[in-house]
Amino acid sequence: MQLIECVPNFSEGNDPNIIKQITNEIESVEGVRLLNVDPGKATNRTVVTMVGQPGPVIEAAFKAIKKAGELIDMSKHKGEHPRMGATDVCPLIPIANISMEETANYAQQLAKRVGEELSIPVYLYEAAQPNAARNNLSVIRAGEYEGFFKKIKQPEWAPDFGPAEFDAKRGGTVIGARDFLVAYNINLNTTSTRRANAIAFDVREAGRNIEVDGKKVNQPGTLKSVKAIGWYIEEYGVAQISMNLTNINITPVHIAFDEVCTKATARGIRVTGSELVGLIPLKAMTDAGKYFLQKQKRSTGVSEKELIKIAIKSMGLDELGPFKPEERIIEYMLANAADHKLVSMTLIDFANETARESPAPGGGSISAYVGALGVSLATMVANLSSHKKGWDERWKEFSDWAEKGEKYKSTLLQLVDADTAAFNKIMEAFGLPKATDAEKATCAEAIQAATKYAIEIPFKVMETAYASMEVIKAMVIEGNPNSVTDAGVGALCARAAVMGAFMNVRINATGYKDKTFTEDVIARGNDIQNKTLALEAEILELVNEKIGV
């Protein structure tokens, strides 16, 4: 499935009734999911995030742009953020199984429709704009709403679509395609816009113009792929550095935050926190958590939830209001609760769910969970060892082991629900209609496909649980000796996970007709099981030697 994200910015941030009418248009389109609505009072601007397949997203964006033009009067608009129209900018971002070129084509389709059907002047930007001289948003928007009545008459600034007349009520719109952008504001303990701008110029890639030997020369800022300005936000009573991070692989959020801290301190100003506008990828948050832990020489092999918590607190993302990861991280917004139903349960509920008169969750899911517990014990030993008094010089070594353990744990936890889903697929296949020969053939094919999946999932449990024993063994040998029995129990769990999952592989293989496939899987499964038993015996011998009793 192709997925694109659309992040229209509407020039209204104070009237919830107007904002709701616009977002209602988006929600009226089937196949589009409204992920986030982020109004700003001082900027008088709302950033909306939606995602879906290209066709429905284009329809939803068109309807929202139309509604915004009906409800927002730009002749009366005031706000801190640069703007030129009721729908100021509307970017499309490729998310899954779609190229930037394809996304740009969709942006051009949307722009053409808005220009022709709504008679709004539209400018293309970034990947959707073939003319490199006018693909930069800030260059297009220069002069803002007030200056566009004259600007639009200049031949070089004729719109790409729509009339070359600036609409006093609706203004103009910029539509394009770009990479994922993070809109990020950093809070300062000053009310001075001039000083905030000085810091923004210090860090933004475009930098500032300075005079050298009577000539103006550009002095670049310190951060690549960063746009920034300073402004005062009356709503909060502080100045901010407002940033667009256009490539977080080049300049991640945490690097931008730290660099602004450095430049602010040099100017006698302190950063007090920061603010995310819209959504952010999960990796950006976990990378930030790891970065700040590493600065403290602490283990980074902690849970995803803990990494996010560290990132929030380190960058003060909750200073101006609550930061709820489930509402701000794009992967969490797109997640299907059914995909992690079991691992989201309490221990008691999970045990009760297993015990009731239902065949799932069964041995496969339990094997995966036992494996997750086993490597979790080893990860615990690694983290304890990383923080052990007197072992400070080895913190990175144990942190690396803990990170490995976390990866194995995460995979095994995903497989808990995946195994039950695999069983349910088989049941669904058996429930397909069989009234005609064609239906019987379709049913048989579905059963075979589901059976193969039900073999592959527990086999993945075997592979992962066995691989996790490298962490377990290392922690028995190198880890905190006071926790050696914890690692030993981890080995017992890993062995149980491998053997339990192999039982599922074998019984499901009896129902699969491709004997070449099943014979290969069984042979590889036997090899993993034998290696697991041998490694378990080796680990337990090491544990018993260390116990010494």
Q: Which residues in 28-38 are b (16+ Cβ under 10 Å) and which e?
A: ebeebbbbbbb
Residues 6+ apart with CB under 8 A from 398: 299, 301, 382, 383, 385, 386, 391, 478, 479
Amino acid at 396: K
Q: Where are the alpha helices (DSSP H) in 387-436?
A: 395-430
CA distance 365 to 342: 9
Q: Residue 362 corresponds to which tokens in the numbers above?
A: 């069964």
**What are residue 245's DSSP bridge partners?**
182, 226
DSSP E strands in 130-225: the ranges are 173-177, 182-188, 208-212, 215-219
Residues 457/422, Cβ–Cβ less than 8 Å:
yes
Residue burial 487-525, b: 16+ Cβ < 10 Å; e: rest: bbebbbbbbbbbbbbbebbbebbeebeeeeebeebbeeb
CA distance linking residue 241 with residue 274, whole number of Å: 9
In Å, how far are 429, 496, 498, 536, 540 from 532, measured between CA atoms?
A: 34, 10, 7, 6, 12
In angstroms, the CA 202 to CA 206 distance is 9
Task: Give dist(CA 377, CA 483) in Å, integer.
Answer: 9
Kindly state the helix (H) or strand (E) to which residue 49 belongs, with its residue range: strand 45-52
Tokens at 519, concatenated:
């014979």
Tokens of 211: 């005079």
> DSSP labels for 5-18?
EE--EES-SS-HHH
| Pairing state between β 215-219 and 182-188 | unpaired
Helix (H) or strand (E) holding 465: helix 437-478
Do 19 and 80 form a contact (C-beta atoms < 8 A)? no
Q: Please give the distance of CA 408 from its chain centroid, rounded to a whole number.
A: 20
Q: Which residues are tagged catalytic?
A: 81, 419
Helix (H, G, I), strand (E, B) or coil at 146: helix
